[in-house]
A and B are shown apart, each in its own frame.
Chain A
Amino acid sequence: MSLNVSNLTVHHGAICAVNQVSLAVPTGKLAAIIGSNGAGKTTLLRALSGLNKPTHGVVNWMGETITGTKPEKLVRLGISHVSEGKSVIPELTVKENLELGAIWRKDAKEMKESVDQVVSIFPRLGERISQRSDTLSGGERQMLAIGRAIMSKPKLLLLDEPSLGLAPLVVEQIFQTIRDLTTQMRLTVLLVEQNAMGALKIADLGIVLNLGKVVAVNHAQALIEDPAVRAAYLGY
């Protein structure tokens, strides 16, 4: 198990957004986290990447306890977080957004290689490399956000609703890319999604969150077939 979370609790003031969550994701696996609005998915990811401070619990990453570690440090340990909404900086160009992802490595040659690698994954970004990123379409921005995360050569990728606001065809494309990246780069991935069906289809395991608690964990395929999950989250 590369990621181990036990009894994690996170508060926003008086609101308990994540309540005693325990989960484990093996190396190289893609875990989908689904749940209704306000279930605490975003908060959970933010706690894992160090943006929110947990009140209780332990996060263990590759044998090391990382609870409460700052995000800028966690990046160096291989944890990359693509936050909710299109997580790009509109004032910077596409290239600069990508370079930002590798900025802490301070190696110009490696940075250039990584840019080339991302461009080979998302050729559309290559065509727009020196445009300001606020000129990109929603789908392109999401590619850029994921690209930026890949630039830091992560081992654990935290993705928060990459399908948000995208056309069905683009969603399918993004999901496929995420699946391919997981396999090719041997990434461990936590994928938070409202599009439960799409996410579970590409995932190895699924985690259902409700009101801050884990209510189901299983193989993704098993969850798809679970009648309760179907009724609550898949809509049929």
Chain B
Amino acid sequence: MQLLNTLLIGITAGSIYALMAIAFVLVWRSTRVVNFAQAGMALLSTYFGYEAVSRIGSFWVALPVAMIGGAIFAALVELILMRLLVKHASSGAIAGVAPIIATLGLLGVIRAVISMIWGGQDLRIVAPISNDGFTINGSTLVFSPLKLLILVVVVILLILLSILFQRTNLGLALRASAHAPEIARLSGVRVDAVRTLGWALAGAAGAVAGLFQTVNGNGTFSPDSIEFSLLLVSGFIAAVIGGLDSLLGAVLGGLFLGITISFVLMYVSSGLFFIAPFIVLLTVLFVRPQGIIGVKASRRA
């Protein structure tokens, strides 16, 4: 029973990490940048969602509002910041670290602006359904209707995303631009616009991750909440486990990470909460440097 319980909790957390990892992968594929501001953008989207909930009162309105808000914001970041970056900082000693530093700076700006607008205190988003565990044969699980709902929504989003990527022209353009921008351009794809779209999709995925991370926790969030630092780290690790270039890899990486952490916390020590992701990452990097999904590109690139 406890085994099943641990597994289900891990899968739920893992599905949220998977969304975050997808956001990382989408951005990486479109601009070859690891967006360290991803969690900040997710946080901002969560505030958008919060505004929608407090005005309209429905979580199901807040979710798309957060997604659209997150997508627009991410698109703007690509249009303004990333394009300037390519123009100004693509040579010299700084070139390798410039995107990392710029996205970190963006993270700081987002946090500061959020604190100025909404204040530093905890805000609360009420979950659409109960987070009290299911009771089976008299014993109560930690796995709850809310966690089940999160799982279902994430699965639906993943299916939609895979239809977009595998079945539509837009998806073809996204994939072609990611793998071979020059051939894509020669085929008439407006690669610049596709890049912006990649960021926008990432922004939307991050928004869902942010909202779910909040309601799956204790429902509160603030500009400094450690939950979002954790989301940043976990999403990144999940993406790395998956090879950073593969959407399927991101999903598997998220699940792997979620389940592993869940088992470590349950059977080893719950005090390892913050350090466990780091240990998982180091282990993966040493055991399978190319990620779970074997990709040829090395991490030194």
Chain A residues with CB under 8 Å of chain B are: 49, 51, 70-72, 75-76, 80-81, 83, 87-92, 96, 99-101, 103-104, 106, 148, 152
Those 5 A-B pairs whose CB atoms lie nearest each other, nearest first: A104-B188, A75-B188, A71-B185, A89-B180, A100-B187
B185 cross-chain contacts in A, Cβ below 8 A: 51, 70-72
Contact B189 A103 (CB under 8 A): yes
Residue among A51, A70, A104 making CB contact with B187, cutoff 8 Å: A104
Residue among A72, A83, A88 making CB contact with B189, cutoff 8 Å: A72
Known: A51-B182, A106-B169. A91 touches B175 (CB 8 A): yes
Select from chain A the residue with minimum beta-carbon distance to B170. Answer: A103
B175 cross-chain contacts in A, Cβ below 8 A: 89, 91-92, 96
- List 16 extra interface pairs beyond A51-B182, A87-B183, A103-B172, CB under 8 A: A72-B188, A80-B186, A89-B179, A91-B179, A92-B179, A96-B172, A96-B176, A99-B172, A100-B172, A100-B183, A100-B184, A100-B189, A101-B188, A103-B188, A103-B189, A148-B187
A99 cross-chain contacts in B, Cβ below 8 A: 169, 172
Select from chain B the residue with minimum beta-carbon distance to A90. Answer: B179
Q: Could you give 23 example pairs across A and B, Cβ below 8 Å? A: A51-B182, A51-B186, A72-B185, A75-B187, A83-B186, A87-B183, A87-B186, A89-B179, A89-B184, A91-B175, A92-B175, A100-B172, A100-B176, A100-B183, A101-B187, A101-B188, A103-B172, A103-B187, A103-B188, A103-B189, A104-B189, A106-B169, A152-B188
Residue among B173, B183, B191 making CB contact with A88, cutoff 8 Å: B183
B186 cross-chain contacts in A, Cβ below 8 A: 49, 51, 71, 75, 80-81, 83, 87
Select from chain A the residue with minimum beta-carbon distance to B180. Answer: A89
CA distance A75 to B173 in the complex (A): 15
CA distance A21 to B132 in the complex (A): 76
Contact A83 B191 (CB under 8 A): no
Select from chain A the residue with minimum beta-carbon distance to B193. Answer: A72
Among B212-254, those with CB < 8 Å from A are: none
CA distance A165 to B158 in the complex (A): 42
Known: A72-B191, A75-B188, A104-B188. A89 touches B183 (CB 8 A): yes
Residue among B173, B179, B180, B182 making CB contact with A103, cutoff 8 Å: B173
B83 at the interface (CB under 8 A from A): no
A80 cross-chain contacts in B, Cβ below 8 A: 186
CA distance A72 to B173 in the complex (A): 12
Among B172-218, those with CB < 8 Å from A are: 172-173, 175-176, 179-180, 182-191
B191 cross-chain contacts in A, Cβ below 8 A: 72
CA distance A101 to B169 in the complex (A): 11
CA distance A82 to B172 in the complex (A): 19
CA distance A49 to B182 in the complex (A): 11
Q: Which of B182, B184, B188, B189 has most chain A Cβ within 10 Å?
A: B188
Contact A92 B176 (CB under 8 A): yes
